[in-house]
Amino acid sequence: MLAKRNAFYAQSGGVTAVINASACGVIETARQHKDQIGKVYAGRHGILGALSEDLIDTSKESMSAIAALRYTPAGAFGSARYKLKGLDENRAQYERLIEVFRAHDIGYFFYNGGGDSQDTALKVSQIGVKLNYPIIAIGVPKTVDNDLPITDCCPGFGSVAKYVATSMREAGFDVASMAKTSTKVFVLEVMGRHAGWITAACGLAAENESEAPHVLLFPEIPFEQEKFLARVDEAVKKYGYCAIGVSEGIKGPDGKFLSESGLKDAFGHAQLGGVAPTIANTVREKLGYKNHWAVADYLQRAARHIASKTDVAQAYAVGKAAVEFALKGQNAVMPTIVRKCDDPYKWGIGMARLKDVANKEKIMPRNFIARDGFGITEKCRAYLRPLIMGEDYPPFRNGLPNYVRLKNIAVPKKLDGEFEV
């Protein structure tokens, strides 16, 4: 049995409706193993909390507050878009991490994020060997984009999928009932920078081809204006209206984003948003149909009120499994979701090596996208359907979801110097 040491947990990258459910899984499971894990310290603002020795003592939070994380969206400890450089590029950062970890007797590192974050977890796991500091680093998967490899799906995705499919169905009912004299084309822009999983999920709203959405625009498929307009016109003539789901990341045949703001985030990715009005204007100019557009933006990834019960359960399970892996002495691994059966849906927890996960993006298989590029296949539906199953409503107070705000009490600092992040 390993010596009893403290754990560090941090949230990284864009938050989701269920990343706190993973935090809940980590903390509750750690609390059940007090003989092996001392306290769980959370990084305030993700890894920045470790670098700046700004740690949150989660042991100061009540059982009920931690339990409430299961139904509270976004990052309860603060997340960060901050990518550690390589060990050779910025050795000082890693030495600082070790300094902080040593000062607080941290022997477990749980890092909750997407592909970039799994890369960070991998680098931290390597400190043990390269800088002679014993630490176990486990990744906890999270991303609304559903683009991590190996795992069947990513916690966070199922809830966005349920939100966009529900929203598309509701907006579809709206437009269908008004189309005779008003809006005939509706465009909903959803997230998914390079992978069309969220766009595909919009497709679940339709139970047959007459229902919304009639056209999906995937980042994997180059946008061809003439083909697109022909499809829209066909839908309007056939069904009276056309509902379109579009990924923020669609590109033209030249490979450029249709709507590029020119800004980049800390990972160097372009900051997107606003392709819906571009698409809507094209429809108006070329086809003359009255249209409306919506951009769901953060609403979709924060919508805990309509979270998928399956997603919540999986988010909790990967947090729990991460702690269990660590206690078994596993290092540089990440729990995965393993699909055992589509219908009835059965899943379990597997394990992936971080080196196989880090910095890799899983895009949609071509056979999940209809041959003409504007819809999803039955194979895709079979994959997506279970992920949105079940409702898991948060408690409400005064008519609104009663989400928890933690006390987030800082661990007293033990180090003198400041560290410039």
Nearer residue to its own copies within complex by CB, 211 or 324 = 211
Q: How far is CA 223 from the centre of its chain?
A: 25
Closest C-alpha among 341, 340, 342, 361 to residue 350: 340
Nearer residue to its own copies within complex by CB, 5 or 304 = 304
In 144-239, alpha helices (H): 157-178, 197-202, 225-239
301 binds its own copies (CB under 8 A): yes
What residues numbered 318-337 form the site for its own copies, per CB under 8 A? none
Give the separation between CA 71 and CA 80, rounded to whole angstroms: 21
In 179-258, alpha helices (H): 197-202, 225-239
Least Å distance, CB 31 to its own copies, is 23
Give the separation between CA 230 and CA 373, rounded to whole angstroms: 13
Least Å distance, CB 107 to its own copies, is 26
Give the separation between CA 71 and CA 403, rounded to whole angstroms: 7
91 binds its own copies (CB under 8 A): no
Q: Is 145 marked active-site?
A: yes
Residue found under tokens 């980590």: 26
Give the separation between CA 136 and CA 106, rounded to whole angstroms: 9
Build a one-symbol-per-residue string for 127-166: x at contacts with its own copies by CB under 8 A, - elsewhere: -----------------------------------x--xx
Burial zone of 137 (CB within 10 Å; 0-12 exposed, 13-18 middle, 19+ buried): buried
* Binding segment (CB under 8 A) for its own copies, from list 172-180, 314-322, 326-334, 410-418: 172-180
Nearer residue to its own copies within complex by CB, 276 or 333 = 276
Q: Which of 121, 171, 322, 327 binds its own copies (CB under 8 A)?
A: 171
Least Å distance, CB 51 to its own copies, is 12
393 binds its own copies (CB under 8 A): yes
Least Å distance, CB 317 to its own copies, is 19
What residues numbered 264-293 form the site for its own copies, per CB under 8 A? 265-266, 271, 273-274, 276-277, 290, 292-293
Active-site residue among 145, 147, 311, 392? 145
* Binding segment (CB under 8 A) for its own copies, from list 30-38, 56-64, 183-191, 367-375: 183-191
Q: Which of 89, 181, 253, 256 binds its own copies (CB under 8 A)?
A: 181
Tell me the sheet residues that pair with 139.
111
What residues numbered 395-414 form the site for its own copies, per CB under 8 A? 396, 398-401, 403
Q: How far is CA 143 from CA 50, 51, 69, 115, 195, in A?
A: 22, 23, 17, 8, 11
Least Å distance, CB 213 to its own copies, is 13
Q: How far is CA 35 from CA 2, 25, 31, in A?
A: 10, 18, 9
The alpha-carbon radius of gyration of the chain (Å, integer) is 22
Nearer residue to its own copies within complex by CB, 39 or 162 = 162
Q: Which of 303, 315, 323, 334 binds its own copies (CB under 8 A)?
A: 303
Helix (H, G, I), strand (E, B) or coil at 92: helix
81 binds its own copies (CB under 8 A): yes
117 contacts: CB under 8 Å, gap ≥ 6:
12, 13, 111, 139, 142
82 binds its own copies (CB under 8 A): yes
What residues numbered 206-265 form the site for its own copies, per CB under 8 A? 263, 265
205 binds its own copies (CB under 8 A): yes
362 binds its own copies (CB under 8 A): no
Least Å distance, CB 186 to its own copies, is 6
10 binds its own copies (CB under 8 A): no
3 contacts: CB under 8 Å, gap ≥ 6:
107
Least Å distance, CB 23 to its own copies, is 11
Handedness of CA 381, 386, 389, 394 (dihedral sign): negative
Just list the catalytic residues.
145
